[in-house]
Amino acid sequence: MQNEKSMNSYIMSSEDEKIRKNWCIATVLVYLGLPILNLVVFNFLSLKFEVSPKIFNEQAGFLVLGTIWFLIVYYFVYRRHGVFLLTWTLITLPIKLIMNLLEFFPLLQDPTETWTIYAFLIDTSCCIWWALSMLKLRRLHKRMHAHKLYASEGYLQALQALQLVSTIDDLNAKFASLMREREENGQRGDLIIEAYNTRKNALLALPN
């Protein structure tokens, strides 16, 4: 509950809302729209494929998996402002694009396969748009997490204690003391480290 309250203290701009909306639309297209498109193309529009239970079931399976994965991603990314799944998806997306190319390549060489060529272009364009929307959403979520960190009580308490010192040597000694006391006080180490880095940068920026 505290986590949600801290995160909700970040006030989203209209641009932030637009980033979230674009990601959501792109994700629906990739996980739901493209499997439906491929199902229709490979089973009904492609001249080289005859309608068969095997191909239909394979494409229908992708649609079911896409629906399940969309619900998971929607919850952890859109609702919980997650970053990990965005990062993981961006890393693995090139593999998806290569697999798409291998899947479509035999048909792309046939000029009569107009629908297949269109499907490939739409698939690739959606994935590129999706990747761009993920990059923007990832930056937004990292900014939101940073806001949550800098507004947290543990960070502010550690920073207040570290601001009492005025030299790097004293800062290092105070930091070591806080880290030793953190378990006893129930403080998070990452908040103390972040406060230490903030104070250290401020001291280093001072004129000699």
Q: Where are the domains of the chain?
A: 14-80, 149-205
pLDDT, mean of residues 198-202: 91
pLDDT of residue 45: 56
Q: Give which of 151, 143, 156, 190 is closest to 6, Cα–Cα.
A: 151
pLDDT band at 164 (very low <50, low <70, confident <90, very high): very high
Instruction: Give the three-class secondary structure for 103.
Output: helix
The CA distance from 34 to 96, in Å, is 12
Question: In this predicted model, what pLDDT tens digit does every residue of 102-159 receive, in sequence order?
Answer: 877 776 677 766 777 787 888 889 999 999 999 999 999 999 988 888 888 888 889 9
Residue 176 has pLDDT above 50, yes or no: yes
Token pair for 178: 């806080």
pTM beyond 0.85, yes or no = no
Q: According to the model, what pLDDT value does residue 57 have?
A: 72
pLDDT of res. 6 = 42
Task: Look at residue 83 and give its three-state secondary structure.
Answer: coil
The two tokens of residue 96 are 């998806």
CB 35 within 8 A of CB 63: yes
pLDDT of residue 46: 54
